[in-house]
Structure 1
Amino acid sequence: MPSASASEAPRPPSRPASASPPGSPPSAPTSPPRPRATSASRPAPGAPRFADADADADAVASAPCSPRDKAAPAERDHLRHKSATANGHAGAIRRHVAGAPTTVQVRQVVAAPASARLGARRSPLAVRALCWVLHFLGHALCTAAYLVWSQLLLLWPAVWLSAWLYVLLWPWRLLLAWGWNRVRANRPTVLVSGGGSVQALHLARNLYSCGARVICVEVEGVFRLSRFSAAVRRFYTLPAPAASEDGVQRYVRALCDIVQKERCSLYVPVCSSTTAYYDAFAKPHLEMLGCTVFCPGVREVWLLDDVQEVLRRAEEAGLHVPLYYPVARRDDVLRLYESGVLAAGTHFMASAGALGCRDRVKLRLPAARAQFRMPYEMSPQRPWVVVQDLPGEHFLTCTTVRDAVVLANVTCRVLDSGELVPVDHRAVDQWLTAFFSRLRVLRQFSGHVSFRFVVSEASGALVVLGSRVGVSLPYICHDSAHARLLWRPCRRHQQLQQQQGASASAAAVAAGRYWLPDALLQTLRAQPSLRAVRRLLGTVLDKREALFAAWDPLPYCAYYHLQLPTRRVVNLLRNAPPLQGCPLPPTH
């Protein structure tokens, strides 16, 4: 058989133009398929496929021009130049890779490490450290801003609510101010001290609701909370009685000037910023001006403000008292530590005597002798008393006494968190009645007294821990009827006392109170549950907020947004921890 010529040698089957070599990425979809290449235009088997690119460029260059191309000859010249450039580059690439497979070059490029390509772009270490610090500071600022905003988110709604209520009520006050003041012109004027305390604010509101004209006073350097109240007609400041040697005289003289100027008929000392010791000295001077002082005299204050004297009188009356030890020197306290008396249980030490009633200081004693510190003077002229604080439920009272007879009383149970919960405790009422009935004093006295009790876990007996003269914090659970008992005796209350055997709680309505920030924080700290939300709603619906009143909203804003933040900032700047006192909360 004759042999075939070279031009007629069998060719290997050519791969379609749309197929791609194995391992290469799939090509993107192209325009409509081109005509199948003939044998004259098909490339050789081993040559790279660059002829298609040349054909495409020639086709683009020789394609009929559209109307837009006719109007733009510069674009046609650009296409011809691009086609010639592509042909030149294609020829150069064909000459360069004629003796080596194309895949080798591709593998070399792929195998090149990324660090070699990015090594020149890597930033220095100092720049990266600076960027990290700036990033960290940005996150810290964002976190701080979030914490601040989360706090404001809880408080600002109350601010806006109080502000709008004040704005809405202000026109009515302007319309009724003239006529209301004319009606109240002949009403009695009541002077209330301690205008920076919560209980003084409630006392002023209750007296105002009963028709009295209220004037509030406070010593210098104390926040003037009652000044923001609509119930207070005027507000005065007094010099601090303990600021100088003649401080007591200046304090009494300032009180007399205010009583003469405002024609006050009743003075009710709250004794929150100053002790009843100074108001007792001012009592005879104010009574000479025709102003009744609802406060005991000097001798009665020395009795009721001295913890040691109260425990001694209660013990003489046959009432339960804790173990107490009078001390006059530091060595006396150290001997109690050596004997093991202070090692078991909890003890506190309170100032005693006449000067102790003026200072009214209370400290908690540590269990170890090495931790005992005495920052105050201790001498026979300034004695102290160590009292055992029994474990059990603690109670705090606000007792109103007129002519040495219990007129009204509110008893609150003190929780571990310091919250006061009003309760109806018959044993406390009976103890108060028995104590004042057996108390022998030179003259009958009137005033507010706060007693502290504990129900012993071991014996279950009601034990008194001490007392102080003044309006205590449980007073906020009194209703407005109690204010009438101070300056206008109530016949209805006298009838109830006769019917119920002079019950101490006859005129007191122990309505529950709550502090809105504390209720919100307790709900947020608890695990998110439907029960916590129900408890919060029940508290808001069943109880009244301790400071908020729709007709008097400004004190609420002033207390939570001015007084408390300022007090915390001042304590932080002073960098001095508060003195540890009795586990019972303060009564002011």
Structure 2
Amino acid sequence: MSTRSELHKVQDLNELHQHVYDSMTFSALRQQSQDNLEQSWPPYRRLIKTLSQLTHIPSYLLNNYVRTIVCLLLFGLMFPLNLLITLLTMILSYFCNLIHKKSSLPSSNPSRKRILISGGSTTKALHLCRSFYQAGHQIILVDESINWLTGHRWSNSVERFYVHPSPSKESDAYLTILANIVRREKINVFIPCCHSHIDERLQVALATHNCSIFYPRSDQTIFMSNKYAFIERTRSLNLSVPSSFLITSREQLLQFNYDCSYICKPATIDSLHHEKTIILPRSTPSETIEYINKLSISEHRPYLLQKFLSGQEYSTHVTAIDGRIKLFVCSPKSTYQHVDQPRILQWCMQYVETLNLTGHLSMKFIIDDHDEQVYAIECRSYVDSNIISFYNHPEVANAYFEHESSTMIVPLASARQIYWLPYELWQLVQNIRSRKKIIACLKKICFGKEAIWSWNDPFPFLLHYHIHFFYLLFANLFSKHIRFFNHVDCNMGRLF
């Protein structure tokens, strides 16, 4: 198959997949909530079903209400602690700057740019705002309408905040509003923090307003938004990837020769919903058949069957310009602390240079325990949360605008492990009987770096947790705005 025809096929596949998700009905969300209830802690499940019989409220709806109210109470209990931390930060920061005669204002920049950053409720967007602001640039922040109360809008680094419609549900309105913001604010550069296939269309629209977009070309993003296309493209470059197969029907899975364990997951990337990943085959043939029959697989929504590799997983963030890596961070899965992995770096450098990439890349790797080789699992064209590890690096902004420099920036050796305080406090409650886990959580809280808290920018820490999430959770008690969720994601600022 030619590269051109393959590009069109993958592009059509992505558009069809997006259409399937946009047309997701309330009944599907209701079923998802019911499934989550069935997989929950048995005593809790029995309690919800008993209350459902007594009150005649459907169990899936009652489950949503109870989870939402519990989360509201937990954030309420945290409020006095976070308020105290914020007040102490403001007082100590003021007197320290007064004593040392320092100013929290950034130095003037003769080549100052006006930068538009999307995904405003995410921690990674906040950190990019702070980095560009400290370098003397002016920041305009935007996000979806539902996130209009994100605490990040009150950051010292944000000049103005706007909301826009959902890119996936109202794409034309999204394009129009973003173009109007660019024109009104005289934006020089647009940096999207979260993946949206609509952002590819913005490249032409924003060019008429003399605004560039820091985003890969459309022929590059197609291969990144489809996992199987990425695997095939990467294999053609002689780079290591796991053995993978594209699955378009349940019959293919049922008839597949499972010579080893395989990971089964959606082949297309959806930034709005968490993926269901399973390992096949299961312990018994009947269980395998049962799992497969639950999957909604079709040519419009294919799955990827990928050989299971046992080993340490790593996630990386790459900022690339014209085939050169400008920012690089690599951390073991879910740790958010940079480690030196030369082989992963070499893999990324070869990939970026060969394809002459420009933009953000979020790449997942695994080092196989069997052959100790580095394998790429997937690649996405957005800012990875690992970029937060650059929180104390003064040269992040320069990596985006000093194109002639060949210097690659990695997090400073003094950068501490990143964590989100509500999540760590919840881990303390969950593991109250495990002394080892409690000590580990306390060490992270004491010696790590809270992701949102900043010495010179304290308000987002308080307002994001106790205004933004309070609004999302309170709105979730009303059927018009109901969103069945598995957990509160402090990093992304959303209910997932």
Work out whether the TM-score is over 0.5: yes
- TM-aligned CA deviation for residue 205 of structure 1: 1.0
Counting matched residue pairs gives 402
Mark the CA change 1:544 to 1:506 in structure 2 (over 3 Å): closer, same or farther: closer
Mark the CA change 1:578 to 1:364 in structure 2 (over 3 Å): closer, same or farther: farther
- Does the alignment pair 1:420 with 2:336? yes
Q: Deviation per CA, 1:323-382, whole angstroms, max 9, x where unpaired?
A: 21112233223323xx335xx535132234xxx679887431353221235665622x55
Name the SS of the counterpart of 2:187 in structure 1: coil
What is the alpha-carbon distance in structure 1 between the residues aligned to residue 121 and residue 226 of structure 2?
Answer: 25
- TM-aligned CA deviation for residue 519 of structure 1: 3.9
What is the alpha-carbon distance in structure 2 between the residues aligned to residue 470 and residue 162 of structure 1?
Answer: 31
Mark the CA change 1:408 to 1:372 in structure 2 (over 3 Å): closer, same or farther: same
- TM-aligned CA deviation for residue 448 of structure 1: 0.6
Which residue of the other structure, out of 231, 235, 257, is the alignment partner of 2:180? Answer: 257
- Does the alignment pair 1:209 with 2:127? no
- Does the alignment pair 1:305 with 2:225? yes
Mark the CA change 1:333 to 1:237 in structure 2 (over 3 Å): closer, same or farther: same
Mark the CA change 1:576 to 1:252 in structure 2 (over 3 Å): closer, same or farther: closer
Q: Contact between 1:397 and 1:472, CA under 8 Å: does it hold in 2?
A: yes
Q: Contact between 1:226 and 1:555, CA under 8 Å: does it hold in 2?
A: yes
Which residue of the other structure, out of 258, 265, 273, is the alignment partner of 1:340? Answer: 258
Name the SS of the counterpart of 2:347 in structure 1: helix
Q: Contact between 1:477 and 1:509, CA under 8 Å: does it hold in 2?
A: no
Aligned to 1:319: 239
What is the alpha-carbon distance in structure 1 between the residues aligned to residue 324 and residue 389 of structure 2?
Answer: 20
What is the alpha-carbon distance in structure 2 between the residues aligned to residue 296 and residue 408 of structure 1?
Answer: 15
What is the alpha-carbon distance in structure 2 between the residues aligned to residue 149 and residue 385 of structure 1?
Answer: 40
Amino acid corresponding to residue 260 of structure 1 in structure 2: R
Aligned to 1:481: 394
- Does the alignment pair 1:162 with 2:86? yes
- TM-aligned CA deviation for residue 385 of structure 1: 2.5
Which residue of the other structure, out of 360, 364, 370, is the alignment partner of 1:448? Answer: 360
- Does the alignment pair 1:222 with 2:157? no
Aligned-residue CA RMSD in angstroms? Answer: 4.0
What is the alpha-carbon distance in structure 2 between the residues aligned to residue 350 and residue 148 of structure 1?
Answer: 32
Q: Contact between 1:166 and 1:554, CA under 8 Å: does it hold in 2?
A: no
Mark the CA change 1:325 to 1:186 in structure 2 (over 3 Å): closer, same or farther: closer
What is the alpha-carbon distance in structure 1 between the residues aligned to residue 267 and residue 119 of structure 2?
Answer: 22
What is the alpha-carbon distance in structure 2 between the residues aligned to residue 374 and residue 482 of structure 1?
Answer: 49
Mark the CA change 1:546 to 1:190 in structure 2 (over 3 Å): closer, same or farther: same
Which residue of the other structure, out of 451, 469, 491, is the alignment partner of 1:546? Answer: 451
What is the alpha-carbon distance in structure 1 between the residues aligned to residue 336 and residue 324 of structure 2?
Answer: 25
Amino acid corresponding to residue 153 of structure 2 in structure 1: R
Q: Deviation per CA, 1:106-139, whole angstroms, max 9, x where unpaired?
A: xxxxxxxxxxxxxxxxxxxxxxxxxxxxxxxxxx
User: Which 5+ residue runs of structure 1 have no aligned equivalent?
Assistant: 1-146, 174-178, 498-502, 580-585
Which residue of the other structure, out of 309, 322, 333, is the alignment partner of 1:403? Answer: 322
- TM-aligned CA deviation for residue 568 of structure 1: 6.0
Aligned to 2:379: 467
Q: Deviation per CA, 1:440-467, whole angstroms, max 9, x where unpaired?
A: xxxx442110001111122221111111
What is the alpha-carbon distance in structure 2 between the residues aligned to residue 332 and residue 532 of structure 1?
Answer: 42
Amino acid corresponding to residue 470 of structure 1 in structure 2: Y
What is the alpha-carbon distance in structure 2 between the residues aligned to residue 358 and residue 522 of structure 1?
Answer: 26
What is the alpha-carbon distance in structure 2 between the residues aligned to residue 445 and residue 483 of structure 1?
Answer: 19
Name the SS of the counterpart of 2:372 in structure 1: coil
Q: What TM-score results when the alignment is normalised by the length of structure 1? A: 0.59
User: RCO (CA 8 Å, sep 6+): is it higher in 1 or 2?
Assistant: 2
Matches within 5 A, 1:46-195: 155-163=79-87, 165-166=89-90, 187-195=112-120
Amino acid corresponding to residue 162 of structure 2 in structure 1: Y
Q: Deviation per CA, 1:280-308, whole angstroms, max 9, x where unpaired?
A: 11012212321121101211110222211
Amino acid corresponding to residue 154 of structure 2 in structure 1: F
Which residue of the other structure, out of 348, 351, 354, is the alignment partner of 2:267? Answer: 351
Name the SS of the counterpart of 1:162 in structure 2: helix
Q: Contact between 2:115 and 2:137, CA under 8 Å: does it hold in 1?
A: yes
Q: Contact between 1:404 and 1:436, CA under 8 Å: does it hold in 2?
A: yes
Q: Contact between 2:105 and 2:134, CA under 8 Å: does it hold in 1?
A: no
Q: What TM-score results when the alignment is normalised by the length of structure 2? A: 0.69
Amino acid corresponding to residue 426 of structure 1 in structure 2: P
Amino acid corresponding to residue 265 of structure 1 in structure 2: N
Amino acid corresponding to residue 515 of structure 1 in structure 2: W
User: Which 5+ residue runs of structure 2 have no aligned equivalent?
Assistant: 1-70, 98-103, 283-287, 488-493
Q: Deviation per CA, 1:148-167, whole angstroms, max 9, x where unpaired?
A: 99986655222223145458
Mark the CA change 1:324 to 1:208 in structure 2 (over 3 Å): closer, same or farther: same
Aligned to 1:290: 210
Mark the CA change 1:168 to 1:263 in structure 2 (over 3 Å): closer, same or farther: farther
What is the alpha-carbon distance in structure 2 between the residues aligned to residue 461 and residue 409 of structure 1?
Answer: 20
